[in-house]
């Protein structure tokens, strides 16, 4: 294979993965506009993010089976093509249900792209060029999420939110055509065994839990028969999945991999990382757009600042690679903890620059954690078990993100109503403090229009307090990860 063809494969694979990650950030940037367009509540519009991540989590473990059945090149090309078509259909969606459907298709189609792209590049280039290839590949993946939300937010501001999705179509077409023209043809091994029982049980367990968390707030949790039945089905399905995995000769996921200490801790840490990585991208855009009044262009720039932090994290890993990976993992989660404390101190007057700097801090920590955690997690995993181990690794990351998004959105919805009720109790003719001229401020207690403006301000403050509560959960999750990082063994000294 000539050098020019290898370079084209590198560019096409880089575009494919950059397209996948850009779609996540672009969708989070235009969430407020989609909410208004579909007349949805914040918890309803968050389903467009939640089910996309859940679909990715369910489909990603099937990458190994799809590759063995149809061939690596075929799966990569079709995944990128279907992802591009789904992105276009997201832009044409006319209802929230339709948008959720195409976002599910997006997540399922894009799931194989991430693990396959890196595998293809490592097999295409000789070992002496692997460091350079992964460096260029990593920079491209990081730059995609910077450019996508920035331009997507600008197009959403001057046109509408649909153009944020249309923006990605030329990139997807270029990636699909590039992969079709450059990847060497290969064939699968024909019919390959897949434990459909384990796959279906895991899908039912994850889907049921996600549905209960998404609808629990509106249906009053365990007071609803629907929530109780859904949780019961989810728990039974997960128990049957565990029983099948422990007793079957060829399970869907081999749980014996969990006997490795670093791998077990790595799965727990990557689940926490997934929780921390996606939640701010779901909570901050609606807060900035609806309650702070930021234009979509500015929201896109603030979200895109995470990509700048990720780029800095990539360069930081180069210098930290000489240290124990446990130090890098711990440092990354400490930065997440600092970012969480920072978010817990903001108010409605926070500047876009401060939010962007916080996003850079989160991106920096993410860039450090991913590389170091991957190194220490798979240090003792045999090479022949690596595909299954990496699939479970990405599965836990996406499950953690999906569940924590639902929990935080439910907390925002619940706490907003509670805070409004408590704050509005203080607005009363019997509150003597309001009789003081400097206490009431610009609000006239005898004017109906002024009272309406005061109600709007109470709603803004109640929502801000609710978001601070969600950021408190974010900070607590970051703090819980640090002790686990200390329990990891040195990757350079295999256990035993």
Evaluate whether residue 181 is within a structural domain.
Answer: yes
Q: Are residues 97 and 223 in the same domain?
A: no
- The answer on 387 and 371 residing in a single domain is yes
| Nearest partner of 152 among 23, 60, 283, judged by Cα | 23
- With a threshold of 0.85, does the pTM exceed it? no
Are 273 and 241 in the same domain? no
Question: Does residue 450 lie within any of the structural domains?
Answer: yes
Query: CA 250, CA 265: separation in Å to the nearest integer?
Result: 24
Q: pLDDT, tens digit, for every residue of 202-239?
A: 888 887 887 787 677 667 778 889 889 999 999 999 99
- Classify burial at 167, counting beta carbons within 10 Å of its beta carbon; exposed 0-12, middle 13-18, buried 19 or more: buried
Distances in Å between the alpha carbon of 379 and those of 85, 133, 260? 38, 21, 10
* Range(s) of the domain holding residue 234: 195-251
Mean pLDDT of 271-295: 86
- pLDDT, one tens digit per residue, over 68-127 is 788 888 999 999 999 999 999 999 998 989 999 999 999 899 888 877 887 788 778 887
Is 61 within the bounds of a domain?
yes
Chain-centroid distance of CA 22 in Å reads: 11
| Contact yes or no for 328/482 (Cβ under 8 A) | no
**How much is the pLDDT for 439?**
67
What's the confidence (pLDDT) of residue 82?
95
- Asked if the structure places residue 435 within a domain, the reply is no
Residue 433 lies in a domain: no
How many domains does one find in the chain?
Answer: 3
Residues 343 and 482 in one domain: yes
pLDDT of residue 269: 93
Closest CA to 412 of 304, 284, 302, 306: 284
Kindly state whether residues 218 and 300 are assigned to the same domain.
Answer: no
Encode pLDDT of 384-426 as tens digits: 676 677 777 877 887 788 788 878 888 898 899 899 999 888 8
Checking if the pLDDT of 373 tops 90, the result is no
pLDDT tens-digit map of 304-322? 788 788 878 877 876 776 7
Of residues 52 and 335, which shows the higher confidence score?
A: 335
Domain assignment present for 406: yes
Q: Please indicate, yes or no, if residue 356 is contained in any of the structural domains.
A: yes
264 & 376 share domain: yes
Same domain membership, residue 179 and residue 210: no
- Regarding whether 49 and 73 lie in a shared domain, the answer is yes
- Higher pLDDT: 480 or 220? It is 480
Position 41 scores a pLDDT of 80
CATH number of the domain enclosing 135: 1.20.1250.20
Mean pLDDT of 458-477: 94
Same domain? For 233 and 353 the reply is no
434 falls within a domain: no
């Amino acid at each position: 294979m000539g050098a020019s063809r290898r370079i084209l494969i590198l560019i096409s694979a880089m575009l494919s993965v950059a397209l996948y990650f850009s779609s996540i950030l672009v969708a989070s940037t235009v969430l407020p506009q989609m909410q208004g367009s579909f007349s949805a509540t914040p918890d309803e519009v968050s389903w467009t993010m939640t089910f996309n991540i859940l679909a990715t989590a369910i489909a990603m473990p099937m990458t190994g089976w799809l590759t063995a059945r149809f061939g690596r090149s075929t799966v990569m090309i079709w995944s990128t093509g279907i992802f591009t078509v789904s992105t276009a259909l997201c832009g044409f969606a006319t209802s929230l249900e339709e948008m959720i459907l195409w976002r599910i298709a997006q997540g399922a189609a894009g799931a194989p792209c991430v693990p396959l792209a890196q595998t293809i590049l490592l097999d295409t280039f000789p070992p002496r060029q692997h460091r350079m290839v992964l460096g260029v590949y990593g920079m491209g993946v990081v730059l995609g999420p910077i450019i996508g939300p920035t331009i997507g937010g600008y197009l959403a501001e001057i046109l509408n939110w649909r153009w944020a999705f249309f923006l990605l179509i030329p990139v997807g077409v270029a990636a699909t055509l590039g992969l079709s023209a450059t990847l060497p043809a290969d064939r699968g091994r024909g019919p390959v065994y897949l434990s459909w029982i384990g796959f279906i049980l895991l899908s039912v367990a994850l889907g049921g839990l996600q549905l209960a968390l998404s609808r629990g707030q509106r249906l009053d949790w365990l007071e609803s028969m629907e929530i109780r039945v859904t949780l019961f089905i989810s728990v039974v399905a997960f128990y049957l999945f565990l029983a099948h995995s422990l007793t079957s000769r060829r399970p869907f996921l081999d749980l014996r991999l969990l006997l490795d200490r670093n791998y077990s801790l790595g799965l727990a840490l990557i689940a926490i990382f997934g929780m921390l990585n996606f939640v701010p991208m779901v909570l901050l855009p609606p807060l900035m757009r609806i309650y702070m009044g930021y234009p979509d262009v500015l929201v896109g720039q603030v979200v895109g600042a995470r990509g700048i932090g990720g780029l800095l994290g990539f360069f930081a890993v180069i210098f930290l690679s000489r240290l124990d990976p446990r130090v890098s993992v711990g440092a990354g989660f400490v930065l997440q903890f600092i970012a969480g404390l920072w978010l817990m101190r903001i108010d409605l007057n926070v500047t876009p620059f401060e939010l962007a700097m916080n996003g850079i801090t989160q991106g920096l920590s993410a860039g450090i954690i991913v590389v170091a955690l991957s190194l220490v997690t798979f240090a003792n995993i045999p090479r022949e078990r690596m595909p299954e181990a990496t699939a479970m690794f990405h599965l836990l990351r996406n499950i953690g993100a999906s569940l924590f998004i639902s929990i935080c959105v439910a907390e925002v919805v619940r706490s907003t109503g509670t805070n409004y009720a408590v704050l509005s109790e203080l607005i009363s003719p019997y509150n003597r403090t309001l009789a003081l001229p400097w206490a009431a401020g610009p609000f006239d207690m005898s004017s109906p229009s002024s009272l309406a403006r005061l109600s709007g301000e109470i709603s803004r403050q109640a929502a801000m307090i609710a978001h601070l509560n969600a950021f408190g959960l974010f900070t607590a999750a970051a703090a819980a990860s640090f002790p686990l990082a200390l329990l990891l063994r040195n990757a350079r000294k295999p256990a035993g």
